[in-house]
Structure 1
Amino acid sequence: MRGPAVIFDNVSLQLGGTQVLDAVNFRVEAGALHCLVGPNGGGKTSLVRALLGQMPHTGTVRLEGEVSTPMGYVPQLPDFDRNVPMTVNDVMALLSQRRPAFLGASRSAKATRIAALHRTGVGAMGAKPFGSLSGGERQRVLLAQAISPMPRLLILDEPTAGIDEPGVRLVEELVTELHDQGVTILWINHDLEQVRRVAQSVTVINQRLLFHGSCEHWENLR
């Protein structure tokens, strides 16, 4: 089963009187591996947060097709207080929580989280303090929570920024595998070489829509 299509219909957004997005219209096709590119401050993360329901906006953002599980989301690597006494397993349980905490995690949910950590190469780190991990290791944990449970729509905000080359390869291989399984992927990406390697289609925004189409067409215009 393919993931849903994502439609941005005349989406505009202001922050503090500044126009961040201005009448943005485009469609991410069902099951596409789609990269969103543009300059810093161009509105890419704000657009994704509008999709997630985290930013007030005008216009509409909607999914077309069935979403049988929650969407997965990997945010930009956050600052984290290294003194907070949370293990990797604690962070996974918190971010992946689907029922009241006092009930505890189900056996199947724990198994799913453990499998996701192994899939992203940090399976042996469950008991380690999250704050003690390197930036690349923390990014792998965030990727693991995004695929636990497996989504039909995966949203990535610079998931390979600041991680080592093996980590970059792991993320690209995992994303390609999910795409092959029909997951719709919307990936904010500054690495244009990586976009060339992985993207099926591309949207360029800088407050307004500058380009939307196939990766091949985008390459021919550059």
Structure 2
Amino acid sequence: MTALETAPVSVQGPAIDFDRVELDLGRTRILDNVSFQIRAGSVHALVGPNGGGKSSLIKTLLGQMPHRGELRLHWPDAPGTIGYVPQALEFDRGLPMTVDDFMAAMCQRRPAFLGLSRRQAPAIEQALERVGMLDKRKRRMGALSGGERQRVLLAQGLVPEAQLVVLDEPMSALDEPGVQVFEQLLRDWRQVGTTVLWIEHDLQAVGRLADHVTGLNRSVRFDADPAQALTPERLLDLFSSHPRSQREVSA
């Protein structure tokens, strides 16, 4: 068990099977025979070099990219909600868009210029409070620090409540208060049995917080618990531009 792990009351999120998933962009093979499983209700980290296919794999899971092979979600009951937190927020910082405006645009069907809907307002307020941004809801997004904007991105991933959460480098711009917020969210998700798929470059954070780690550099280089996965030999192979064969790694 990890330092943050507690037994969930019940598992709400799905188990996920990636079975021989392949993806080509033009003549370039992005994903090559990718096969691994994610345990239901676990925090599963995906690590690897830039260009190694991590974000592309997430996009196949979200149905945004065509692929070969099979991808199966095994929900405990009826299919649930998938929450997604992207790596960064690109927008014109001169726009007069407040935090509330952004949350309205991302989390409800009602046009953002009409304000928060009465139906969604309580959930949005709770999400902003969980990430420590409720007191800055009227500030322009462009006036926030990078860490504060990243916390707002985390908040939009909480509405509606998801049973599968997909995170694309959520810690990349977080300040220290934001890191504490993120670790608390992981505790909360683990406690209620939410499945979390988490792309991350901070290997120390992965070692502390993840239940399981998959190393991806176009193909799966390792798939194990953090203590077994994050060894110098495995990481050297993972981040090499010319990965060695599994036979060489195990020799």
TM-score (norm. length: structure 1): 0.92
- Taking only aligned residues, the RMSD between alpha carbons, in angstroms, comes to 1.9
Point out where structure 1 has 5 or more consecutive residues left out of the alignment.
none
**How far apart, CA to CA, are the structure 2 residues paired with 1:194 and 1:100?**
38
Call closer, same or farther: CA 1:141–1:67 in 2, change over 3 Å: farther
Is 2:128 the partner of 1:88? no
Mean CA deviation greater in 148-157 or 162-171: 162-171
Deviation per residue, 1:110-136 (Å, 9 max, x gap): 110011001001011211111221111
- Matching residue within 129, 132, 137 for 2:143: 132
Is 2:92 the partner of 1:76? no
Call closer, same or farther: CA 1:111–1:132 in 2, change over 3 Å: same
Amino acid aligned to 1:154: V
For residue 100 of structure 1, report the CA deviation from its aligned partner: 5.1
Residue in 1 aligned with 2:224? 213
Amino acid aligned to 1:138: R
Is 2:66 the partner of 1:37? no
**How far apart, CA to CA, are the structure 1 residues paired with 2:89 and 2:43?**
24
> How many residues are aligned here?
221
Is 2:34 the partner of 1:24? yes
Residue in 1 aligned with 2:186? 175
> Do the aligned residues in 2 keep the contact of 1:67 with 1:152 (CA within 8 Å)?
no
- SS of residue in 1 equivalent to 2:45: strand
Deviation per residue, 1:18-51 (Å, 9 max, x gap): 1111110111010011100011110001100110
**How far apart, CA to CA, are the structure 1 residues paired with 2:78 and 2:164?**
8
Residue in 1 aligned with 2:152? 141
Amino acid aligned to 2:42: A
For residue 69 of structure 1, report the CA deviation from its aligned partner: 4.0
- SS of residue in 2 equivalent to 1:9: strand
For residue 84 of structure 1, report the CA deviation from its aligned partner: 2.1
**How far apart, CA to CA, are the structure 2 residues paired with 1:150 and 1:68?**
13
- SS of residue in 2 equivalent to 1:107: coil
For residue 208 of structure 1, report the CA deviation from its aligned partner: 0.4
Amino acid aligned to 1:14: D
Point out where structure 2 has 5 or more consecutive residues left out of the alignment.
1-9, 235-251
Deviation per residue, 1:84-105 (Å, 9 max, x gap): 22211111111112x4549975
Call closer, same or farther: CA 1:200–1:67 in 2, change over 3 Å: farther
Over the matched positions of the two proteins, sequence identity in percent amounts to 48
- The structure 1 segments of at least 4 consecutive aligned residues displaced by more than 6 Å after TM superposition are none
For residue 64 of structure 1, report the CA deviation from its aligned partner: 0.4
Is 2:120 the partner of 1:109? yes
**How far apart, CA to CA, are the structure 1 residues paired with 2:148 and 2:62?**
25
Amino acid aligned to 1:12: E
> Do the aligned residues in 2 keep the contact of 1:12 with 1:24 (CA within 8 Å)?
yes
> Do the aligned residues in 2 keep the contact of 1:69 with 1:149 (CA within 8 Å)?
no
Task: Give the number of the structure whose alpha-carbon radius of gyration is greater.
Answer: 2
